[in-house]
Amino acid sequence: MQNENSELPVILTGDRTTGPLHLGHYAGSLRNRTALQHTHRQFLLLADLQALTDNAHDPEKVRRNVLEVAFDYLAVGIDPALTTICVQSALPALSELTMLYMNFVTVARLERNPTIKTEIQVRGFGRDIPVGFLCYPVSQASDITAFKATLVPVGEDQAPLIEQTNEIVRRLNRQVERELLPEAEAMIPKVGRLPGIDGKAKMSKSLGNAIPLSASPDEIREAVRQMYTDPNHLRAADPGVVEGNVVFTYLDAFCEDVALVDDLKARYRQGGLGDMVVKRQLEDVLQALITPIRERRAQFAADPAYVMNVLREGTARARERTQRTLNEVRSALGLFEL
Ligand code: TRP
């Protein structure tokens, strides 16, 4: 057993439970997490409360997907002996910390948060934004600090949330005149975000351009068939463009044979290599990647009792840790004690 002082660097990250995860999640975070669990103390949060902040009209969807995302985690190789998987809504300390932190953040600052600002625009909330949604950066600050995480592996779009977290940490530390909570660092993956199969900047279930981690062989084949390439590459003999060509972007992301990909790129640029040939190569790579994930996922989905147990044990461990932090914050602020 490790004691607190010799603890490995602590990572917290998580996902909103709004739907099963897809290849974009795999490339952007899941793949990293399976590696990081060996070198860090890793906590994964099934963020159902955060999911509710923009899905209050469909709480059943949020509830159902807690298990779906857990299946995805286990299927890609998250090992519950190395990583603690926990459920946000079952950790009351997170909500209590949010209540305390809200006193250290202004509405103006939240509205200026680039992540929030973009989402307000995209969703067309205007002044009718739910308070919970506006405050989700505060809740995310609670998630991160409650675990005393110093590293948060997230996509680039989430970086402003880590900055906001650190502002809260600094204000609180100044208030209590000591280093009560550590600041956290965003760990942004070097590879950019995986585009959707239509070439749009983001792979997303709601945009209908995603390949789920549970995709069947036929679904994989069909997704590759539809995939956006170079729209001006009409005949195999023509020279083609590799940049922004989704088939090549995916080969870069998932094909381990770099020399093969380089060769395909050179021949494609030169002319004489048809889309079909490149797509067949990618299909092989994706079938080989997804098949074992899909099969493991089906095994876990067939044994929900085992997965529930993983979540119960992980959440119990997380409850202890987050409650300890809450107690420290309560006592540092000098809240009334009974
Ligand atoms: N906001 C993250 C997302 O949309 C999910 C999340 C919730 C999270 N709490 C977190 C990520 C804490 C990192 C740390 O994907």
Q: pLDDT digit string (tens) for 24-54?
A: 999 989 999 999 999 999 999 999 999 999 9
Cα separation, 216 vs 247, in Å, equals 19
Q: How far is the CA of 99 from the centre of ligand 1 (A)?
A: 18
Q: How far is the CA of 300 from the centre of ligand 1 (A)?
A: 24
pLDDT score of 3 more than 70: no
Q: How many helices (H) and strands (E) does the chain have?
A: 15, 5
Q: What Å distances lie between residue 163 and 28, 112, 144, 167, CA to CA? A: 20, 12, 12, 6
Per-residue confidence (pLDDT) for residue 248, from 0 to 100: 97
Q: Which amino acid is at 306?
A: Y
Q: Considering only CA atoms, which of 50, 23, 55 is closest in space to residue 251?
A: 23
Pair 213, 26: CB distance under 8 Å: yes
Classify 40 as helix, strand or coil: coil
Q: How far is the CA of 13 from the centre of ligand 1 (A)?
A: 6
**In the structure encoding, which two tokens stand for residue 309, read together?**
């147990």
> Which residue in this structure is represented by tokens 């602020």?
333
**In the structure encoding, which two tokens stand for residue 22, read together?**
């897809």
Q: What mean pLDDT is predicted for residues 298-314?
A: 98
Please give the model's pTM, rounded to 2 decimal places.
0.95
Question: Residues lining ligand 1, CB < 6 A?
Answer: 12-16, 45, 47, 50, 140, 143-144, 152, 154, 158
Cα separation, 86 vs 66, in Å, equals 10
* Closest atom of ligand 1 to CA, residue 15: 5
pLDDT score of 322 more than 70: yes
Q: What is the pLDDT of residues 151-200, one digit of tens each?
A: 999 888 899 999 999 999 999 999 999 999 999 999 988 877 899 999 98
